[in-house]
Amino acid sequence: MNAQALELTDNAANKVRQLRDSEGNQDLMLRVYVTGGGCSGFSYGFNFAESQNEDDAEFVNGDVKMLVDSLSYQYLVGSVVDYVEGLDGSRFIVQNPNATTTCGCGSSFSI
């Protein structure tokens, strides 16, 4: 894996496939982004996109694409995007080597 790349795990790619199938739209791509706010300074966000923007970086796992905009990319370099199911619910998570602190919810971080 390129040190600058992001990785979409098989679990996350499988969940995207399930969601795509349930929506009946094979063009859906997972968009991962960073916004200001949250208990540690920045928060991760996830949504689905049908089209790719010019400044998006693209990462692929099989037939699933993950998009990251250029502003968010600098905070996510080297991260792994996974999907976990546990007692506290099911969600996409980011394992970010750049984060110096994270909050208990796992969706907020600082650098």
Per-residue pLDDT of 43-94, as tens digits, reads 899 999 999 999 999 999 999 999 999 999 999 999 999 999 988 789 999 9
> Rounded CA gap, 5 and 77, in Å?
6
105 assigned ligand-binding residue: yes
- Domains, the chain: 7-95 (2.60.300.12)
Task: Supply φ then ψ for residue 47, to 5 degrees.
Answer: -155, 180
β-pair type (64-68, 108-110)? unpaired
pTM, whole model, 2 decimals?
A: 0.85
CA-to-CA dists, residue 11 to 18, 71, 72, 80, 103, angstroms: 11, 26, 22, 11, 23
pLDDT in tens, 18-42: 999 999 999 999 999 998 876 667 8
38 assigned ligand-binding residue: no
96 assigned ligand-binding residue: no
